[in-house]
Amino acid sequence: GSQPQPLAATADAADPPDPGAAPATLRTDREGVVVLAAAGQSVWLCVEDTRDQWSLQEGQKLRLANPMTGPSVTIRLTTPEAIELEVRSQDGGSVSYRFTEPFSVGRAKPSAAGDSLAVPCSEDQQFVPSRHAWVEKGEEGWVWCRHPQGKEDKRKERSTWALVPSGSECRVGRGVRDGVVAVRAA
């Protein structure tokens, strides 16, 4: 498939019909950068391109590794103290996990107290990197963080992707690392 594209890139075959249209645009305001998904086109936004901590919201959908074929994760905030993740793999199977303590996503045992969640995430059913992400309860709710011992993913092959529904916006803030935010048409 095609590689994730910066917001200013032109569309490819998987994008909206207008060959010059981007699947999303950027705008800035006093609070930072906002990604706007085009009308009629949802997009996957690379979480690691935005900031070190991604605030998790009820019903939010994430994808691990490949934004088109990686396993999907739906966030359920059941109580202020607990988080549930419904993980759906490429084969359509679904499992829910509930956590009340910080936890690691990946094969490695966590470096702090908490459980570890291993999820298959490639076409050949390999597992996520050993240190994909760290999820913890912050002051304002649960956050998805880059694992403190994880490796940077410049090629976007092992990243986390958040769904931005058609016609809606996602506030990225001021944390964009290098001025490029990868998006893929959903």
Task: Give the tens place of pLDDT for each residue, 63-111.
Answer: 988 888 888 899 999 888 999 999 887 777 888 889 999 988 876 554 4
- Asked whether 36 and 28 are in contact (CB, 8 A), the reply is no
Q: Which amino acid is at 52?
A: D
Using DSSP bridges, classify how beta strands 72-79 and 82-88 pair: parallel, antiparallel or unpaired. Answer: antiparallel
CA atoms 120, 126, 128, 130: torsion sign: positive
Give the 3-state secondary structure of residue 77.
strand
Average pLDDT, the chain: 78
What's this model's pTM, rounded to 2 decimal places?
0.79
Question: Looking at the predicted structure, is the pLDDT value of residue 19 above 60?
Answer: no
Question: Looking at the predicted structure, is the pLDDT value of residue 159 above 90?
Answer: no
User: What per-residue confidence (pLDDT) applies to 107?
Assistant: 62
Burial of 19 (0-12, 13-18, 19+ CB in 10 A): exposed
Question: Looking at the predicted structure, is the pLDDT value of residue 49 above 90?
Answer: no
- Asked whether 133 and 150 are in contact (CB, 8 A), the reply is yes
